[in-house]
Homo-oligomer: A and B are copies of this chain.
Amino acid sequence: MSLAVINYHQGMSRWEPNARGRLLQAALELYVERGFEQTTVAEIAKLAGLTERTFFRYFADKREVLFWGAAALQELLVSTVAGAPDSEAPITVIGTAIEAAGAVFQEGREGALLRQSVIAANAELQERELIKLASLASAMADALRKRGVSDPGASLSAEAGIAVLKIAFERWINETSPQDLPQLIRELFAELKVVTGAT
């Protein structure tokens, strides 16, 4: 069912239920259909049945529609690291955090697929995505340091975790019959141990 149909049935109320979700879905639909560059905020708002002003209440610009979840993802990773039992090894703590992120992606696979196809088609968005990953690694390393983990162990564990997330996500997003993402992440951490242990 297209968004236009949904909006028709919902009508245009002054109270805007799930405005963010509607804007997100409309934006992804347009980015995929017409391309990111060719889509305007006005078009996104129109398809979502909302005003441009409402759009800017939720997103700084049309790029941020694709990255608004980054702050929540970072918060999830950092709080998972912070909340892990004291006795756990840094790489185990990072593994738990990355698995938690994987579970979130898995819940929204359809949106993740669309988002990924938009990002893959645009060099500027790919750069933004890499910045996001680097920031996540840096935030997790900081969270480990707050647990008393020293460097280079903190940085190495965090960077290794982001490498696993990146590889697991790419594999999972390209699968037609997707595996369980948290499980895939666990397997990749196990494989990383094998790979780096080779002499």
Give A contacts to B, CB under 8 Å. 89-92, 126-128, 130-131, 134, 151-153, 155-157, 159-160, 162-164, 166-167, 171, 188-189, 191-199
Contact = CB atoms under 8 A, between A and B. Distances in A.
A152 B152 CA distance: 24
A130 to B, nearest CB: 4
Nearest to A194: B153
A128 B131 CA distance: 10
A156 B192 contact: yes
Contacts of A134: 130
Given A126-B131, A167-B152, A160 B191 contact: no
A91 B198 contact: yes
Contacts of A155: 167
Given A156-B164, A193-B197, 11 more contacts: A89-B198, A91-B196, A91-B198, A126-B131, A127-B128, A127-B130, A127-B131, A152-B191, A160-B160, A160-B163, A193-B196
Contacts of A197: 193, 196-197
A169 to B, nearest CB: 12
A178 B196 CA distance: 26
